[in-house]
Structure 1
């Protein structure tokens, strides 16, 4: 495959995907509304078509203009988006949809593509725009990929859990990097052993390219850090990259409640483990970046940015009240 159309392409995962494709000598075109700065505006290797992906006529025009070998769909949030794209790009060599680990409908450990059932999705949920239906909509998008493959389309999907790394506008990891960077004591909900698998963004980009080149139509592929770490291990990993150390202070629901905090007020906290098997993707030749290397890049990018992630958790003054309570116990 020589040419690629990236639907999205200027922000987080899409931005890294474009760089991954360029590094492997693809001719790349990005298709989006142009609402965000284009980091490739001065790169003559990347063409840009402005348009709304929910407008089928605009997508059809892009298909005729580019005639891409591979299409990577980074911003399909509704099942209809996937059905439209797999119809419009039916003749492409590969269509790769970014799904989500949230698409799984049962708490298996680990969650496997061919064993763990997906979330159900009603017609009403398929058009809802709330976070509560996000996983359901992604699951229905996966089913649209399977249906397209049954009709002869080379459509596949990639399912990541929480994605982190440079240019992460969600600022989820930034919350914890900021805490470790500014304070000697870091308050952690629970005992620190909760496990919510994450995945480094460049690994997602590489997975999408590999799936396009080597994946099987109709198949989904989990992508995640192959060394999954607990929340406390992640904090210590951040501290190591900052060349510092912190005192991790555990707080249960009762102690947190005294400060008006609930455990799930903290980003990247999940009561039940969320772990995806990556064996199927690894069989295609993919492997994840060593955690120390991935975290070093994430921390470096955080320090060079103005992101602090403070909207993703309790404010420090509230935490100090809880720390004070714990000090008296």
Structure 2
């Protein structure tokens, strides 16, 4: 008998790759979403679309009755109340998995470990907020809803990705750096280039969600990220190697950046303090990470076929040229 998975979300980025991973592992898949985005599975008879709003409990119940899922992957729970309702509606499934975030951690530990590194607090006001500044608080409170549901007997688990990258990434964060490498032979990186913000390849996140649904321990959160974490300089160099182009990485101090009226935080994926997640608990379930060279190869190949360029993150090439001019005089 074929297992059925319900993916809440499913048409964009993580959800899209999750549907593909589930299909590749023999699942029949139902997707619950509002239908606001193009459905890449519209012609696939293994995928059923259930139209509805995940914030509407009645729609969740209708999806449960329609799909009768064995597992549920919740890609779009952004408030703890969403998680509380979903774990009640899907209390009898074999596995409910909530996508949390590495942003749920409150302390700058290296690495950040599940059950060890403290989580962000969350006030009632933050729990109902939509501001980016409270994202980590809300995700952490969602984790606590998972823990409470598991104590009540629900097979509920959480997966905490760090920054996710890969094909179809609508955030375009890595697209900015890929575009820089493809269009310029000198690329400015802030600081000494050794800052580290752990990332997770999207296909690895998708497989983690399935594996946790199948084998995870209820009430447990699992970190997911590349097993080899790259610094920002290594990221640019890996993109260049993948793209078959030569590029000079130019580290720029705060003083050098000031020549272009720039600061380190003007560069996407820069983080002053290292952000690194321990992924051993997930690996113990049998999960494996794709080698970063192959992950980057797939990412760059899809970037070239897309119209994304990461321009919304662009600090301005004219400003960078002024920084490069200062560097050349040193």
TM-score by length of 2: 0.99
Deviations 1:227-254 (A, max 9, x none): 0110000110000011111111111112
The aligned residue for residue 246 of structure 2 is: 245
The aligned residue for residue 110 of structure 1 is: 111
The aligned residue for residue 291 of structure 1 is: 292
Where does 1:1-329 land on structure 2 (aligned, <5 Å)? 2-329=3-330
Give the Cα–Cα distance (whole angstroms) in 1 for the partners of residues 17 and 179 of structure 2.
23
Give the Cα–Cα distance (whole angstroms) in 2 for the partners of residues 326 and 131 of structure 1.
35
Once the 2 structures are TM-superposed, how far is the Cα of residue 66 of structure 1 from its aligned partner? 1.2
More divergent stretch after superposition (34-43 vs 249-258): 249-258
Question: Counterpart of 1:60 in 2: which secondary structure?
Answer: helix
Give the Cα–Cα distance (whole angstroms) in 2 for the partners of residues 261 and 85 of structure 1.
44
Q: RMSD value over aligned CA atoms?
A: 0.8
Give the Cα–Cα distance (whole angstroms) in 1 for the partners of residues 79 and 258 of structure 2.
37
Give the Cα–Cα distance (whole angstroms) in 1 for the partners of residues 246 and 139 of structure 2.
39
Count of equivalent residues = 329
Question: Counterpart of 2:187 in 1: which secondary structure?
Answer: strand
Deviations 1:257-294 (A, max 9, x none): 22111101111100000000000000000110001100
Give the Cα–Cα distance (whole angstroms) in 1 for the partners of residues 241 and 328 of structure 2.
26
* Gapped regions of structure 2 (runs ≥ 5): none
Once the 2 structures are TM-superposed, how far is the Cα of residue 108 of structure 1 from its aligned partner? 0.5
Deviations 1:51-80 (A, max 9, x none): 111111111111111111100000000001
Give the Cα–Cα distance (whole angstroms) in 2 for the partners of residues 217 and 20 of structure 1.
22
Deviations 1:175-196 (A, max 9, x none): 0000000001000000000000
Give the Cα–Cα distance (whole angstroms) in 2 for the partners of residues 326 and 130 of structure 1.
38
Once the 2 structures are TM-superposed, how far is the Cα of residue 315 of structure 1 from its aligned partner? 1.5
Once the 2 structures are TM-superposed, how far is the Cα of residue 83 of structure 1 from its aligned partner? 0.4
Give the Cα–Cα distance (whole angstroms) in 1 for the partners of residues 190 and 257 of structure 2.
8
Give the Cα–Cα distance (whole angstroms) in 2 for the partners of residues 199 and 3 of structure 1.
26
Once the 2 structures are TM-superposed, how far is the Cα of residue 313 of structure 1 from its aligned partner? 3.0
Give the Cα–Cα distance (whole angstroms) in 1 for the partners of residues 172 and 62 of structure 2.
35
Once the 2 structures are TM-superposed, how far is the Cα of residue 314 of structure 1 from its aligned partner? 0.4
Once the 2 structures are TM-superposed, how far is the Cα of residue 147 of structure 1 from its aligned partner? 0.4
Give the Cα–Cα distance (whole angstroms) in 1 for the partners of residues 64 and 218 of structure 2.
20
Once the 2 structures are TM-superposed, how far is the Cα of residue 323 of structure 1 from its aligned partner? 1.1
Once the 2 structures are TM-superposed, how far is the Cα of residue 318 of structure 1 from its aligned partner? 1.4
Question: Counterpart of 1:269 in 2: which secondary structure?
Answer: coil
